Amino acid sequence: MPTGKSAQSGFTYLFVLMSIGLIGMGLAAAGTLWKTEAQRERETELLFIGGQYRQAIRSFYERPGQQPPRLPQSVDELLEDRRGITLERHLRRAWRDPFTGKPFELIESPDSKGITGVHSQSTRRPFKKAGFSEKDAAFSDAKTIADWHFVFIPAAAVVPPGQPAPAPAP
């Protein structure tokens, strides 16, 4: 016949197992929440960095006294623009992609005369689907983070609707 002490130890063991299970479920939920929050922070960081690259390319292209204006050939030119009398830094540093840790993929102009933008190489699905700035409004339709292209299009390259494209220079 079992004593009271051995019957109670079975309940204690069962209570410990249930407690471990509940703690495990709580940690799993916290891990999922942390992963989601970490991706949201990386998306915010990517939007900032991509905007900095776009602005740097624009600043390089529109630098006063440079005729005809041209696009940068590399990120190094954005870091140290030596076209004028003084050195100008359009970009503070060559940021890395917050998702991959690698340098950004460069986007070349259609005529291969320079860099017009950058994009991530991440194939993750973005959480952010709305609330983008006017320049980034097209991002709401993106299937992956890699579809977020941060591009500067020179005003000369923009053709109004219904207008024929200018003929290339000889």
The pLDDT confidence band at residue 8, using thresholds 50, 70 and 90, is low
**Cα 4 off chain centre by:** 64
Single out the residue of 138, 103, 135, 105 nearest to residue 119, CA to CA: 105
In the predicted model, is pLDDT for residue 7 greater than 80? no
What per-residue confidence (pLDDT) applies to 170? 34
Determine the Cα angle at 143 with ends 106 and 124, to 5°: 75
Express each pLDDT in 108-129 by its tens digit. 988 878 999 999 999 999 988 8
- The whole-angstrom separation of Cα 59 and Cα 68 is 14
Q: Which H or E element spans position 28?
A: helix 4-61
- The whole-angstrom separation of Cα 119 and Cα 106 is 7
Domain ranges of the chain: 18-155
What per-residue confidence (pLDDT) applies to 126? 93
- The whole-angstrom separation of Cα 36 and Cα 19 is 26
